[in-house]
Structure 1
Amino acid sequence: MSDLTANTGVYPIDLWGLAITVALVAVSAGLSWIMRLGVERRMLWATMRSLAQLLAMGYVIKYVILWNNPWICFALIAVMILAAIQITLTRASNIPKGLAPQVLLTLAVCVVLQISVVIELIVRPHPWYAPAVLVTMTGMLLGNVVAATAVAMSRFFSDMKARRYEVEMMLALGATPFEAAKPSISASVKMGMIPTISQLASSGIVLIPGMMAGQVIAGADPIMAGKYQFVVLAVISALTLIADSLIMILVYRTSFTDRDQYRADL
């Protein structure tokens, strides 16, 4: 062990470490193939894609930090948001086309709230656009919001189809489109929030989340790492709920015509 590693607590992962990690995934994929589970190809593809994307993003963030330019930071965040829109629409199943503007608005609102409240009021980095904070925390937020939003939209439109006759009856009895869609909206938001709330509740007892574990491994004070992790998880939970609620408000009208009739063709 080098003096640098011993003094800082940093334990670099070399090519052998990456190779062993990929080999472990390959073994598990082989087990899937033997048991005919049918997930080995997707698992191997996702693993290699993740490795390439994370290493590429690591190099990008490295140079963004070196440049230390706010315009470059926000340009990168804009690219991340555009990619998040595409991923959200791809992950969501059985949703109508043309929802990209609603997803864009939802993600943009969450990012603005995170930057203005979390980064500038809670963390307060110097400079205010510190790339190491701005880019990484935005990435963590978008990852969670994308997953929750996709789940919420998928659940909403499938639930509306299952409730078709109930919705039509409520409309016939004088209910507004929002009143008819409200049960599906509530169920969708709850479904989208389940993983986030579960992670928040289990953190520190069952789970040591990635940010805290990474900081501790890198030699940071465990108590400070715990504070950072709490802020991240709590804010992600709050903004995920805001995102799920906002996307439902923005998309529920697509299930109805201009004459407030249920659209069974979706």
Structure 2
Amino acid sequence: MNGTSAGSYPIDVWGLIITIVLVAVAAGLSYAMRLGVHRQMLWATIRSLIQLLAMGYILKFVIEQNNPWLVFALIAVMILAAVQITMSRAANIPRSVMPSVLLTLTASVILQVCVVTEMIVRPHPWYAPTVLATLSGMLLGNVVSAIAVAMSRFFSDMDARRYEIEMMLSLGATPFEAAKPSIISSVKLGMIPTISQLASSGIVLIPGMMAGQVIAGADPLTAAKYQFVVLAVISALTLMADSLIMILIYKTSFTALHQYRPSNER
């Protein structure tokens, strides 16, 4: 088997151990320099290893079964977990926005399945778990980060602009007009990592999907096409998700009489 054959570079137990040792050395450096991130880094590394290995076994089972109901059940569980992660990451947001988060994430996944999976990739069968589950996971990861940042920024910015908002409302502005500056700044902030990754891919950065395919022996040009489709569509859907969540939640900052509602009253 030559060096470019698929599966010719397997990662064994020793590879995982060396990786963990490297993280431990970095954490030790953080501890020695009193940077204060060693515990979080070690915990995140262990949690990531357990979660990824568990997902690997689950995906293997779902792929072997090749059952559409199992595929969509897995995606549903991923969406519910994404809702919980979003709520935990976003700071100082009311619990009442959880249904809006669920709706936003579900709509994003449905669009991804309809557009990317069925119109661009066109797998056989149409519910191919290797495509649906993996693409849904990548999309949810990006959307969760973006809307968590956007929501945190929105509510903090609204509180910071309280007197300005109340003045605008008193002068006849609608709640949307009063909230619009906060909506714009929140969406922009949430989109910064996604747009930066899209812009730097191929020159500064070889993204994980493309790198993984090339290492596994896939044609680099084919890997580049797949990576472009994934990054571009995820960027578009993330922007749509950011915009949708803002439309769904901005009214929580106002009463039925169009008066501003402070964060401690939401």
Structure-1-length-normalised TM-score? 0.97
Deviation at 1:166, TM superposition (A): 0.4
Q: Are the counterparts in 1 of residues 151 and 246 from structure 2 also a CA contact under 8 Å?
A: yes
- What is the percentage of aligned positions where both structures have the same residue? 75
* The one of 14, 17, 25 aligned to 1:27: 25
Deviation at 1:209, TM superposition (A): 0.1
The CA RMSD over aligned residues, in Å, is: 1.0
In the alignment, which residue of structure 2 is the partner of 1:8?
6
Deviation at 1:97, TM superposition (A): 1.7
In the alignment, which residue of structure 1 is the partner of 2:159?
161
Deviation at 1:4, TM superposition (A): 7.4
Counterpart secondary structure, 2:127: coil
Matched, 1:223 2:221: yes
In the alignment, which residue of structure 2 is the partner of 1:102?
100
Q: Deviations over 1:44-103 (max 9, x none)?
A: 000000000000000000010000000000000000000000000000001112211000
Runs of 4 or more consecutive aligned structure 1 residues displaced over 3 Å after TM superposition: 3-9
**In structure 1, distance between residues paired with 2:6 and 2:51:** 27
**In structure 2, distance between residues paired with 1:145 and 1:220:** 28
**In structure 2, distance between residues paired with 1:8 and 1:110:** 32
In the alignment, which residue of structure 1 is the partner of 2:135?
137
**In structure 2, distance between residues paired with 1:130 and 1:16:** 32
* The one of 84, 87, 91 aligned to 1:86: 84
**In structure 1, distance between residues paired with 2:131 and 2:241:** 21
* The one of 185, 191, 194 aligned to 1:193: 191
**In structure 2, distance between residues paired with 1:99 and 1:164:** 20
* The one of 101, 111, 114 aligned to 2:112: 114
> What is the number of residues matched between the two proteins?
264
Deviation at 1:172, TM superposition (A): 0.5
Deviation at 1:7, TM superposition (A): 3.9
In the alignment, which residue of structure 2 is the partner of 1:39?
37
Structure-2-length-normalised TM-score? 0.97
**In structure 2, distance between residues paired with 1:104 and 1:6:** 42
In the alignment, which residue of structure 1 is the partner of 2:61?
63
**In structure 2, distance between residues paired with 1:130 and 1:177:** 44
**In structure 1, distance between residues paired with 2:6 and 2:105:** 37
Q: Which amino acid aligns with 1:173?
A: L
